[in-house]
Amino acid sequence: MNRAVLDIDEAREAAAYWLARRQLGLMTSRDQAAFENWLGEAANAAAYDEAEASIASFGAVAASPEVRRMRDAALAAPLQARRITIFWRAAAAAAIVLLGVGTWSIAPRPSERTVPGLDATIQGAAPAAPAPGPSARRYATAVGERSKYTLEDGSIVSLNTNTVLEVAYSRDERSVRLLQGQALFEVAKNRNRPFVVLAGDRRVTAVGTAFDVRVGDGGVRVVLAEGRVTVDPLRHKGMARLVPSLDRQELQPGEQLIADPYRPLVIAAADVERLTSWDRGRLIFRDDLLSEAIKEMNRYSRTQILIEDPRIGDLRISGVFNVSRPENFLAAVTAFYPLEERPRSKGAVVLDWRKAG
């Protein structure tokens, strides 16, 4: 490899190390002197400025109280491999900045292509899918891929990982069926032609608005970012068979509806930024169970992370992770906690306690 490239990479790695120590308050007077000496080199100063500017765009997540709590919890965890050195803590901090937050690591630029007749730009290549019905068009993403389309009425739909969507517009209604996965809709206004999304056992109707719909685990979640939507069951029960409006739910901006066939319907406040961050290529965790974070990250990777010890799943995690680099999530977790990955089979690894020694 070209020596100049190596020097750039080494400067960037060192920049992440120093930035992490400063952000998390781990600097000693000796560290400060070493940092200032390192910063005297022009290439190092440029790398540090780049890292600092990038992390600022994420609101300095690595320095947030949530990440500080995660660090403290990791150091206090009653584990077999509890012997964590000062260097280990610094490496963990660097992992959160460089790998977990992923603020300045440069991912490969996704390929772009336009689907004929749709004026649609797609990030990555969509997998082959069965032909849709005669009046519908089907669009799909593979695991780890995301797509963005501009539909014929000007509405924009973004598809998340492993998603299948059918679009069938008529003169009176703009109908979309979400067969699996997750999609974010930015609907062009047309009061005379409602925009309808069929997902699971629900019908979501909008005129001009922005909302996210996810189908999975037998349920449906609708998150309203702006505007107004109504949500109806596809099959009414009881008196609602005679008066369908009895089953109708209207969401306000900042609310989410969760419909699970085995649980009562839930309408609650939603963290819209967090629940739609995937559209910006990120996943945000805020003091989440590690088991839940792993479940979410596994959606974006063909290599699945498994947990056998429930105590590992009960650990907490905060941070911002790049959905295009799911391997960085695993690297950050194993750097921050005394954990290690073990190959289980093709396409699977087990997360276990790091052995002392």
CATH number at residue 170: 2.60.120.1440
pTM above 0.75, yes or no: no
Residue 116 lies in a domain: no
CATH number at residue 25: 3.55.50.30
Q: Which residue has the higher pLDDT, 274 or 51?
A: 274
Number of domains in the chain: 2
Q: What is the pLDDT of residues 205-261, one digit of tens each?
A: 998 899 999 998 879 999 999 999 999 998 887 777 787 777 889 999 999 999 998
pLDDT above 70 (res 262): yes
Q: What is the pLDDT of residues 164-185, one digit of tens each?
A: 999 999 999 999 999 999 999 9
Q: What is the mean pLDDT of residues 19-44?
A: 79
Residue 246 lies in a domain: yes
Residue 197 lies in a domain: yes
The two structure tokens encoding residue 330? 């695993």
The two structure tokens encoding residue 295? 């479940």
320 and 200 in a common domain = no
Query: Which runs of E-coded beta strand occur in the chain?
Result: 112-115, 120-123, 137-140, 147-150, 156-159, 164-169, 174-186, 195-199, 202-206, 210-216, 219-226, 229-233, 249-251, 255-259, 266-269, 282-289, 304-307, 316-322, 339-345, 348-353
Q: Which pairing describes strands 195-199 and 202-206: parallel, antiparallel, or unpaired? A: antiparallel
Residue 217 lies in a domain: yes
Q: What is the pLDDT of residues 107-132, one digit of tens each?
A: 322 322 222 222 232 233 333 434 44
The residues pairing with 250 across neighbouring beta strands, listed in sequence order, are: 230
- Residue 326, burial from CB neighbour count under 10 angstroms (0-12, 13-18, 19+): buried
pLDDT above 70 (res 15): yes
Ramachandran angles phi, psi of 301, nearest 5°: -135, 145
Domain extent, residue 189, equals: 147-275
